[in-house]
Structure 1
Amino acid sequence: MSISTNFPAGTRQERPEQSSIGQRLLSAKKAYTTRFLADALEADASGYRLLSGPDVIPVPGDIVLARVERIGQLPRLESPVSRRQALFVGDEVLVAYANRYAPDQVLAEVPDSLGPCHLIAAGGLAGMVTVSHGAVGRPTQLAPVGLLASSQGRLNLKEFAPCALDPDAEPRVRPHVVAVLGTSMNSGKSTAAACLIRGLTSAGLRVAAGKITGTGAGGDPRLFHDAGAVKVLDFTDYGYPTTFRVATTELGSLAASMVNALAAQGPEVIVVEIADGVYQGETRHLLNTGVLHTLVDSVLFAAADALGACAGVELLRAAGHAPAAVSGMLTVSPLAAAEAAAELDVPVLGTYELTRAETAMRFLAPAPQ
């Protein structure tokens, strides 16, 4: 791998021959975001170092060995196989630094030192919480021990990721692609995507699925597998702990790279989810660039309420993405669904209606103009 061999002047290295770092790394609790590192450690845990000191400044994707100092809002850590591991004070964990944007949870950023920080997502992310939702308690506190490194330099998630980003990726010959977007987090996007995957699979089609943006966690990709997708990828497969504050051009390359990789598996349909809501920064930038216009053939929009459904459809049309249907959390309420249906000229479909083959096949029709 190509890694800088220049350590900052103030960096301390804990050498493997001076302590049993390999055993310490093997004993630490790993996370969903560090699952590929976990595989590498199981194969060979030798040759790793830990970097610390005042001149060590983490960046997104850097891997940190940290000690749990206080249990707070997140008392469990999602394991590489998505088991919810209970955390105890004194546990050592291998997690990744990241920025996070989650309106129902927190706003968090990568700190500028290896000082005390927080567990900002149960999927295995470290950062500093700067803003919290009113219903969220104090964060679980971590004390970083050091950044993971080899003899050549610090190690990032991208060094272990099975998929590589092609910065010049352009859409290739591909099957029909359905994008699922929504009004906000928890508007029902992932469940709607899974139900659509199930419906298309029930129609006898091979379906692949991807999650292009979001916060690293195993629930959604595993849900897509359970729904019948023959291949599932998410941004963590490319070494991104989250996609918050990733440059727009890089996100475009990620989207194209993922769709190309999924298309290589020979599916007849690809379903991709774009996280958060249409007002969120990265999502809005993706909508307003040409990338999605060249990648996506039809859109399913998930909304939390009738007003959000109407505003979202209008915004998507203004960006050149006419939704084929609306679904999501609003359909849990027959009254809210009826309100939306009375105002919209696109179908409002119950989330679990999407599991029906005849309903799912509507999304393969030409997009409305």
Structure 2
Amino acid sequence: MTIMPKRSFPSPGGPEAQRCIQPLPAGILAAAKRAFTTRRVALDLAAGIERNAAPRAGDVVLAEVETLGQHRRLEDIHGRRVTLNEGDRILVAYGDRYAPDQFEAHVPATSGPCALVAGGGVAAEVLRRSARVRDATRILPLGILVDATGRRLNLRDFAMKSAPGGGLPSAAARVIAVVGSSMNAGKTTAISAMVRGALRSGQKVAVIKVTGTGSGGDLWAQRDAGAGLALDFTDAGHASTHRLTDAQRLEIFRTLLRRCRQEPGIDTIFVEVADGLLFGESARLVLSGAFRGEVDALVLAAADAMGALYGEGWLIGHGLAPLALTGAFTASPIAADEVRAHARTPVLARGELADGALAADRHPGRQPMGRVA
């Protein structure tokens, strides 16, 4: 990287500390491969990079690919999976990750070499990984983007804003949340099928993903299925929801839900909660009074038959009756029949959801979830 003249800015830590700001060489950002997580960031505000600064979640960082590992492609702001090469410069965001099938990773304490822990563009330091995946792709941060005043560019500064007050055109929209037994249980596939089923019944639908790690695959899937509006937590200013406070996750949920209700004509809003119910962050969100007060029904997606039955029991044990059981296990008619033999809840395969099995007539008013009798 070409070294340009440096400028010093007072540090928030005190007048005696100085921050090292390096102006951006012309064209360097345009040439970088820009990740999905940064798609809302106004790069025209970037005037320099701050080097050797402790990162914060959401900070946008210019980095160089050092060694290719698990993620050999980077999802760009348009959804294309761009091939990575060693030496490529990329624009990603610092964030945490919790993914039992891949990595657990935290925002590093320093600006030193770290890892690309998600294909959507999340930089972090790996704590542990699944034996089923390669070591993470290693990257060298070159600096955090800053504006002309020295302020860091952070995803939170570019979060979607919902208009306060006033009537909500889709306030009566039915809200159906899909939760899972685990990561990769079939939640996104189930929602895509339910979107198709709702469209067949003449409904207009919206989809929100309220937790997870930044990646556009789920959003593109719902838009392809026909959702009139599809949003996720990155629209609310977060590269990831892992290690946020419970209050922050609820605020993401409320922000995205309110934006959907501001969209005229929405009949049903589908909500995806990432990972499984054994993950404390997901469980606390689903069990919170604020979440339950906004959601009319729950659907459980499970990876296998035992996961479906345990998940059903978990929900019922916490006073929540799922509307249906679905997920990857329903790909096997044998596994689906095993669950039907023991479950209290209807089992619906992907095709049944797409045919409109849960697309009830438009509801004249909301009916938030009640407790199991």
The answer to whether TM tops 0.5 is yes
Name the residue aligned to 1:30.
34
* Equivalent of residue 112 in structure 1, options 104, 109, 112: 109
C-alpha contact (below 8 Å) 1:71/1:88 kept by paired residues: yes
C-alpha contact (below 8 Å) 1:174/1:260 kept by paired residues: no
Name the residue aligned to 1:290.
289
One-letter code of the match for 2:227?
A
* Equivalent of residue 146 in structure 2, options 144, 149, 155: 149
SS of equivalent to 1:36? coil
**How many angstroms apart in 1 are the aligned matches of 2:215 and 2:88?**
20
Name the residue aligned to 2:68.
71
Where do 5+ consecutive residues of structure 2 fail to align? Answer: 1-8, 165-169
Range with greater deviation from structure 2 (284-293 or 120-129)? 284-293
* Equivalent of residue 203 in structure 2, options 187, 195, 205: 205
C-alpha contact (below 8 Å) 1:68/1:90 kept by paired residues: yes
Are 1:87 and 2:84 matched, yes or no?
Answer: yes
**How many angstroms apart in 1 are the aligned matches of 2:45 and 2:322?**
52
One-letter code of the match for 1:325?
A
Where do 5+ consecutive residues of structure 1 fail to align? Answer: 167-171
**How many angstroms apart in 1 are the aligned matches of 2:242 and 2:357?**
36
C-alpha contact (below 8 Å) 1:165/1:253 kept by paired residues: no
C-alpha contact (below 8 Å) 1:165/1:254 kept by paired residues: no
Range with greater deviation from structure 2 (306-315 or 124-133)? 306-315
1:230 shift after superposition: 0.7
* Equivalent of residue 216 in structure 1, options 214, 217, 223: 214
1:10 shift after superposition: 4.6
Deviation per CA, 1:335-363, whole angstroms, max 9, x where unpaired?
11111111011110011210112443289
- After superposition, the Cα gap between the structure-2 partners of 1:275 and 1:74, relative to the gap in structure 1 and judged at 3 Å, is same
Range with greater deviation from structure 2 (155-164 or 317-326)? 155-164
- After superposition, the Cα gap between the structure-2 partners of 1:124 and 1:206, relative to the gap in structure 1 and judged at 3 Å, is same
- After superposition, the Cα gap between the structure-2 partners of 1:204 and 1:121, relative to the gap in structure 1 and judged at 3 Å, is same
One-letter code of the match for 2:272?
E
- After superposition, the Cα gap between the structure-2 partners of 1:352 and 1:319, relative to the gap in structure 1 and judged at 3 Å, is same
Deviation per CA, 1:225-281, whole angstroms, max 9, x where unpaired?
111111111100011101111100111121122111101102011111000001112
SS of equivalent to 2:28? helix
TM-score (norm 2): 0.89
One-letter code of the match for 1:222?
W
**How many angstroms apart in 2 are the aligned matches of 1:114 and 1:358?**
51
SS of equivalent to 1:180? strand
Name the residue aligned to 1:62.
59
SS of equivalent to 1:315? helix
SS of equivalent to 1:64? strand
SS of equivalent to 1:262? helix
Query: What is the aligned-residue identity percentage?
Result: 39
- After superposition, the Cα gap between the structure-2 partners of 1:24 and 1:173, relative to the gap in structure 1 and judged at 3 Å, is same
SS of equivalent to 1:245? coil
Range with greater deviation from structure 2 (235-244 or 249-258)? 249-258
SS of equivalent to 2:40? helix
SS of equivalent to 1:313? helix
One-letter code of the match for 1:178?
I
SS of equivalent to 1:154? coil
1:160 shift after superposition: 2.3
One-letter code of the match for 2:232?
D
C-alpha contact (below 8 Å) 2:10/2:19 kept by paired residues: no
**How many angstroms apart in 1 are the aligned matches of 2:276 and 2:10?**
41
Length, aligned pairs only: 350
**How many angstroms apart in 2 are the aligned matches of 1:292 and 1:146?**
38
Name the residue aligned to 1:249.
247
Name the residue aligned to 1:169.
none
